[in-house]
């Protein structure tokens, strides 16, 4: 609407020689993001449907995929009720659960098809038996997945509202999908899948009429049974082999954890997104003229404009650029004065360039640093990127406290020097202003009285000379308001102390002027520093960005903390502010603080999810050991997640943690399906080893299909800068843990439930 209004004003209110161009349009950015995510959502649905089509046939694909439109329609309806908009987070929640919402339908449809293939009873009875067999474990499995993701709702801080649509949307979608799987899916599977097996006339057959004397389906005749038996049979025959497998898996888990310790996998809040804009902040020592600041900013603009990805550069000298969310938190909107300048850098659209905006920023930083170095000491030019998550004062922030100004400044100087010495810490700055000399004129009352000059007149004359004074107003024809006439000394006349002291002040009687120098005592002093306070305590901020070999502030802090402790002996705090400040205190803040809070809350949510899952399984199975066996699949996700982040060169981010939490529920679902069928077969009198082989053969296909849909659904966001970590966790974690689950969970069950054998019995 605004663009249409501007076009209508061209040639009417806007002159023909004035060009209007929109330089920032976050509405367009939001629309592009939503459009892209809707495309990803469509791709995920199609890809998942193709997986079902090629593995189970078109009838099964139609049955299973019916869950998607019904589930999403109901979820979007609840979004509307809750007041959620279609944005990046809510759409991402739908993509996130695309592969999960059809899992229940896959399990029901696959089991119905298996029972139809057995041909041991009429179709209607086979359908009821199939749903009855997997109904309870499906309900429990869905509740465990919900229990895994729902605690994310309680993440605190700025990330809380950002994350809340994900657990809400995922929970609703899974509840609706469960309802679909237990109502629509059985009916549709009976109508479509039953037709493929209706040629034997079983609809009209009565129980006990001979149907089922020669069943067409036996588990031991399937290729899955033979394949699974070749793997698990030798392991079940000798307990020592099972213990060796468990030891090997433990080594894999330790190796995956070591990737975090060795920094092969870097932990970061969120990676930088690919934006179409950057910001360059120019600061020169206080007291620099506006002309000199503008000249430096123009040199920076010329250097930046030579980069191929840069579309245009806007320069704001002496004032702040139009504020954005990042600038609001960093207080850029307060920047005023001749010693500051902002450059807004617009990049060509990301669809037309190969380099991401973060890569462009890394290339720009050496260019602007060289311009600042050529200008002289004291010039600081910082390349600022749009943050991917909640903005902070700076990526790396050290809050320096002390009992007095001298100790605070001394400690801040050491921290400043340590920041500059670190190879991956750039754009170092602090909150202290450059020392400035100011002139102080104190009017001598006795000399003013002898000269016949009123003290107030002298002050008014000096104020008028420096700041100007409205002398009169002009009534200009055609003007809506009078035009003020401001009188002030020209720039050259107020550019030095001697010239100002030569300023004449009128006598009270109007007879002549007296030079200001005859009335005042002049002296010079250092201007007071601005005072920053946090929670009522005086503080000096040392700020920087982290870019280069490492880009996570977590590792920069780890590198800096030790040397600073040895050099300064200051108390270092990481989670909370200081109490009584009796000595030097260094509080690490910035992106680290949000990273700590988010991972802390997600860790607590993960622990709560595990406890809730355990309680659910214990209540269902009436055992304390069986749930532990099922939950053994959860840590197996780490075997895939950690190497997956190394393989894709991705940071382990908050979204990666969300993926691991979701995988906990998904992997427990697989364990429930396995163990539930296994115990049902044991209740029928089947020996333990035979029951394990049958459970693996029968449940491998639905487990593999549900894992495959999760993987396919996540692949579409694998290269999204923000959600890549979650996609990597889901893809690699699901693949690795699914394979290991089919071996580890039955193996643990055998070790815990099988009667002990003597060495002579193990063959």
The confidence band for 756, taking pLDDT boundaries of 50, 70 and 90, is low
Separation between Cα atoms, residue 245 and residue 747, nearest integer Å: 9
Torsion sign across C-alpha atoms 553, 554, 556, 561: positive
Separation between Cα atoms, residue 326 and residue 389, nearest integer Å: 10
Q: pLDDT digit string (tens) for 251-310?
A: 999 999 999 999 899 999 888 888 899 999 999 988 888 999 999 999 999 999 999 999
Question: What percentage of residues in the chain have a pLDDT greater than 70?
Answer: 96
The confidence band for 206, taking pLDDT boundaries of 50, 70 and 90, is very low
Q: Answer whether 436's CB lies under 8 Å from 533's CB.
A: no
Q: Which residues pair with 10 in a beta bridge?
A: 14
Helix (H) or strand (E) holding 327: helix 325-330
**Res. 749: pLDDT tops 60:** yes
Q: Which of 96, 85, 74 is nearest to 27 (CA)?
A: 85
**Res. 542: pLDDT tops 90:** yes
The pLDDT of residue 214 is 44
Q: Quick check: helix, strand or coil at residue 168? A: helix
The pLDDT of residue 207 is 44
The 3-state secondary structure of 547-605, one letter per residue: CCCCCCHHHHHHHHHHHHHHHHCCEEECCCCCCCCCCCEEEEEEHHHHHHHHHHHHHHH
Separation between Cα atoms, residue 609 and residue 602, nearest integer Å: 10
What would the DSSP string read from start to end of 435-504? P-EEEEEEE-HHHHHHHT--HHHHHHHHHHHHH-EEEEEE--TT-SSPEEEEE---TGGGSSHHHHHT-E
Which of 139-148, 196-205, 482-491 is least confident?
196-205
Indicate the DSSP class of residue 275.
Answer: -
Q: Answer whether 496's CB lies under 8 Å from 516's CB.
A: no
Separation between Cα atoms, residue 250 and residue 261, nearest integer Å: 17
Q: Answer whether 589's CB lies under 8 Å from 399's CB.
A: yes
Burial grade of 718 (CB within 10 A; 0-12, 13-18, 19 or more): middle
In this structure, what are the phi and psi dihedrals at residue 534, rounded to the nearest 5 degrees?
A: -135, 125
Mean pLDDT of the chain: 86
Q: Answer whether 284's CB lies under 8 Å from 293's CB.
A: yes
Separation between Cα atoms, residue 621 and residue 136, nearest integer Å: 11
Q: Within 13 Å of residue 245, how many CA atoms lie on the same side as its CB? A: 21
Q: Which of 649, 637, 550 is nearest to 257 (CA)?
A: 637
718-730 average pLDDT score: 87
Compute and round to an integer the Cα radius of gyration of the chain.
Answer: 36
The residue ranking higher by pLDDT, 203 or 443, is 443
Beta strand pairing status for 437-443 and 537-546?
A: unpaired
Q: pLDDT digit string (tens) for 602-619?
A: 888 888 888 888 888 888
Tokens 């602090």, located at residue: 430
Q: pLDDT digit string (tens) for 664-706?
A: 888 888 888 888 888 888 888 889 899 999 888 888 888 888 8
Q: pLDDT digit string (tens) for 390-443?
A: 888 899 999 999 999 999 999 999 999 999 999 999 999 999 888 888 888 888
The residue ranking higher by pLDDT, 623 or 202, is 623
Separation between Cα atoms, residue 272 and residue 395, nearest integer Å: 12
Q: pLDDT digit string (tens) for 313-363?
A: 999 999 999 988 888 888 899 999 999 999 999 999 888 899 999 999 999
Q: Within 13 Å of residue 705, how many CA atoms lie on the same side as its CB? A: 29
In this structure, what are the phi and psi dihedrals at residue 276, rounded to the nearest 5 degrees?
A: -105, 20
What residues contact 100, with CB distance under 8 A and at least 6 apart?
A: 145, 170, 173, 174, 177, 662, 666, 709, 710, 713
**Res. 212: pLDDT tops 60:** no
What would the DSSP string read from start to end of 205-273? PPTTSSTTSS-S--GGGSHHHHHHHHHHHHHHH-HHHHHHHHHHHHHHHHHHHHHHHTTSS-B-S-PPP
Q: Answer whether 76's CB lies under 8 Å from 92's CB.
A: no
Question: Looking only at Cα atoms, what is the longest distance across the chain?
Answer: 133
Separation between Cα atoms, residue 288 and residue 196, nearest integer Å: 85
How many degrees, rounded to 5, is the angle at CA 642 between CA 641 and CA 647? 95
Residue 337: both structure tokens together: 């004065």
Q: Answer whether 694's CB lies under 8 Å from 686's CB.
A: yes
**Rounded to an integer, what is the distance from CA 102 to the centroid of its chain?**
27
**Res. 201: pLDDT tops 80:** no
Q: Which of 752, 709, 667, 545 is nearest to 147 (CA)?
A: 667
Residue 100: both structure tokens together: 């999960």
Q: Answer whether 383's CB lies under 8 Å from 365's CB.
A: yes
What residues contact 400, with CB distance under 8 A and at least 6 apart?
A: 408, 411, 412, 415, 539, 540, 541, 542, 584, 585, 586
51-63 average pLDDT score: 84
Q: Answer whether 642's CB lies under 8 Å from 265's CB.
A: yes
Q: Answer whether 709's CB lies under 8 Å from 103's CB.
A: yes
**Rounded to an integer, what is the distance from CA 725 to the centroid of its chain?**
9
The pLDDT of residue 374 is 92
Separation between Cα atoms, residue 57 and residue 521, nearest integer Å: 98
Q: Answer whether 674's CB lies under 8 Å from 693's CB.
A: no
Separation between Cα atoms, residue 150 and residue 661, nearest integer Å: 10
Helix (H) or strand (E) holding 615: helix 591-621
529-540 average pLDDT score: 91
Q: pLDDT digit string (tens) for 15-38?
A: 888 888 888 888 888 888 788 878
Residue 267: both structure tokens together: 């932990």
Question: What percentage of residues in the chain have a pLDDT greater than 90?
Answer: 29
Q: Quick check: helix, strand or coil at residue 161? A: helix
Q: Quick check: helix, strand or coil at residue 6? A: helix
């Amino acid at each position: 609407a605004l663009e249409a209004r501007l076009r209508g004003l061209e040639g009417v209110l806007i002159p023909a020689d004035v060009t209007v161009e929109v330089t920032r349009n976050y509405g367009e950015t939001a629309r592009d993001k939503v459009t892209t995510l809707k495309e990803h959502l469509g791709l995920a649905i199609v890809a998942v449907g193709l997986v079902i089509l090629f593995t189970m046939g078109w009838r099964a694909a139609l049955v299973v995929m019916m869950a998607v439109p019904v589930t999403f329609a109901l979820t979007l309806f609840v979004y509307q009720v809750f007041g959620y908009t279609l944005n990046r987070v809510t759409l991402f929640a739908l993509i996130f659960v695309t592969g999960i919402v059809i899992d229940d339908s896959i399990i029901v449809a696959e089991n119905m098809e298996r029972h139809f293939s057995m041909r041991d009873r009429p179709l209607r009875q086979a359908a009821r038996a199939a749903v009855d067999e997997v109904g309870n474990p499906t309900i429990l499995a869905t509740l465990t997945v919900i229990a895994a993701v729902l605690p994310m709702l309680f993440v605190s801080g700025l990330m809380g509202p950002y994350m809340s649509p994900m657990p809400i949307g995922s929970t609703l979608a899974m509840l609706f999908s469960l309802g679909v799987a237990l109502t629509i899916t059985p009916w549709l599977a009976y109508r479509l899948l039953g037709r493929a097996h209706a040629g034997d006339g079983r609809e009209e057959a009565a129980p006990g009429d001979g149907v089922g004397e020669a069943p067409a389906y036996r588990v031991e005749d399937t290729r899955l049974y033979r394949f699974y038996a070749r793997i698990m049979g030798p392991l079940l025959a000798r307990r020592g082999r099972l213990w060796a497998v468990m030891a090997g898996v433990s080594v894999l888990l330790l190796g995956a954890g070591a990737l975090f310790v060795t920094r092969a996998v870097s932990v970061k809040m969120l990676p930088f997104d690919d934006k179409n804009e950057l910001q360059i902040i120019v600061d020169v020592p206080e007291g620099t003229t506006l002309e000199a600041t503008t000249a430096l900013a123009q040199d920076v603009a010329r250097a930046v404009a030579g980069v191929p990805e840069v579309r245009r550069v806007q320069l704001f000298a002496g004032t702040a650029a139009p504020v954005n969310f990042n600038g609001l938190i960093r207080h850029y909107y307060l920047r005023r004065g001749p010693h500051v300048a902002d450059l807004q850098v617009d990049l060509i659209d990301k669809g037309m360039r190969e380099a991401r905006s973060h890569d462009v920023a890394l290339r720009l930083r050496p260019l602007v640093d060289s311009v600042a170095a050529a200008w002289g000491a004291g010039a600081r030019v910082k390349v600022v990127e749009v943050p991917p998550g909640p903005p902070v004062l700076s990526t790396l922030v050290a809050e320096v406290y002390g009992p007095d100004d001298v100790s605070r400044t001394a400690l801040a100087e050491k921290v400043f020097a340590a920041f500059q010495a670190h190879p991956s810490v750039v754009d170092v700055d602090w909150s202290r202003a450059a020392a400035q000399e100011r002139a102080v004129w104190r009017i001598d009352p006795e000399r003013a009285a002898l000269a016949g000059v009123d003290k107030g007149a002298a002050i008014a004359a000096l104020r008028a000379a420096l700041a100007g004074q409205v002398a009169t107003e002009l009534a200009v024809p055609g003007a809506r308001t009078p035009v003020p006439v401001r009188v002030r000394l020209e720039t050259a006349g107020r550019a030095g102390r001697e010239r100002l002291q030569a300023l004449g002040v009128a006598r009270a009687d109007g007879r002549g002027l007296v030079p200001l120098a005859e009335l005042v005592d002049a002296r010079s002093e250092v201007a007071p520093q601005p005072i920053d306070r946090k929670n009522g305590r005086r503080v000096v901020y040392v700020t920087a960005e982290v870019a280069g070999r490492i880009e996570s502030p977590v590792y920069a802090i780890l590198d800096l903390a030790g040397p600073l402790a040895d050099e300064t002996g200051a108390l270092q705090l990481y989670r909370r502010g200081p109490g009584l400040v009796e000595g030097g205190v260094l509080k690490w803040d910035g992106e680290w603080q949000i990273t700590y809070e988010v991972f802390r809350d997600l860790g607590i949510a993960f622990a709560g999810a595990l406890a809730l899952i355990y309680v659910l399984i214990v209540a269902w199975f009436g055992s304390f050991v069986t749930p532990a066996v099922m939950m053994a699949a959860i840590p197996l996700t780490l075997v895939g997640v950690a190497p997956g982040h190394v393989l894709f060169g991705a940071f382990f981010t908050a979204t990666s943690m969300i993926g691991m939490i979701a995988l906990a529920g998904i992997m427990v679902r697989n364990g429930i399906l396995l163990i539930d069928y296994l115990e049902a077969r044991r209740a029928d009198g089947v020996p333990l080893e035979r029951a394990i082989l049958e459970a693996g053969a029968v449940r491998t296909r639905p487990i593999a299909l549900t894992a495959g849909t999760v993987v396919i659904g996540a692949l579409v966001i694998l290269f999204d800068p923000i959600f890549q970590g979650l996609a990597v966790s889901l893809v690699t974690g699901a693949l690795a843990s699914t394979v290991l689950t089919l071996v580890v969970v039955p193996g643990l069950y055998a070790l815990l439930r099988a009667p002990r054998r003597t060495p002579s019995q193990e063959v």
